[in-house]
Amino acid sequence: MAHYAQLIANIVEMSGYKTFLELGVWTGTVSDAVKPFAKITGVDIVDRRNDKSGEFFLGTTDAFFCQLSEERKWDAIFIDAQHDFESVKKDFKNSFEHLTTNGLLIFHDTDPADPKFYKDCGDVYKIREYIYHWLTESITLPIQDGGMTLCKAAFSRRHDAI
């Protein structure tokens, strides 16, 4: 299991989160790790999951958010779909609207450890600065090859800045 998947599962468990949305599921490693602690919803353009249980939306993240009701919320959302800044920014804006109060946003590939990982991580790292300007409760962890950024929604929602 990827180390970051176990870290995410530990955070979900320790925080008492009961709902988890994963944008960009790939084979489902993160969902599989989180599944014992929270109800999982996954979104991807291809279903490569090893475990086909749980709610799954086959399509783009844009299409997923377009069909959601405003009331649908998650405690934690893991963003790891497209690996370009503009797509991640859009996923961030959409996710933020569907995050519970004091929920957690988790971004993957925000701190590539070496230039050789830039191809896999794209320019996702730009989201760190974008988030920092309006939501200061965030931390980037230089774990594994791509790094990960966690953002607590808290009560500082400044929609005008998004």
Give exposure, 131-160, as e/b (b: 16+ Cβ within 10 Å).
beeebeebebeeebebbbbbbbbeeeeeee
Residue 109: per-residue pLDDT: 83
Q: Show the domain range for 127.
A: 3-161
Give the residue among 73, 119, 67 at the shortest CA–CA distance from 95: 73
Please tell me the distance from the alpha carbon of residue 126 to that of residue 10, in angstroms, as a whole number: 26
Q: Is the whole model's pTM more than 0.85, yes or no?
A: yes
Average pLDDT of the chain, as a whole number: 88
Give exposure, 29-59, as e/b (b: 16+ Cβ within 10 Å).
bbbbbbbebbebbbbbeeeebeeeebebbee
Question: DSSP characters for 82-120?
Answer: --SHHHHHHHHHHHHHTEEEEEEEEEESSS-SSGGGHHH
Question: Where does the pLDDT of residue 143 fall: very low under 50, low under 70, confident under 90, or very high at 90 and above?
Answer: confident
CA distances from 46 to 21, 61, 107 (A): 16, 12, 20
Q: How many domains, in total, are found in the chain?
A: 1
Nearest 5°: the CA angle 56, 84, 148 is: 75
Contacts of 145 by beta carbon, 8 Å cutoff, 6+ apart: 112, 113, 114, 117, 120, 121
For 31-76, write each residue's pLDDT tens digit: 999 999 999 999 999 999 999 988 999 999 999 999 999 999 999 9
Contact 64, 95 (CB under 8 A): no
Mean pLDDT over 85-93 rounds to: 94
Mean pLDDT over 116-145 rounds to: 77
The CATH number given to whatever domain includes residue 118 is 3.40.50.150
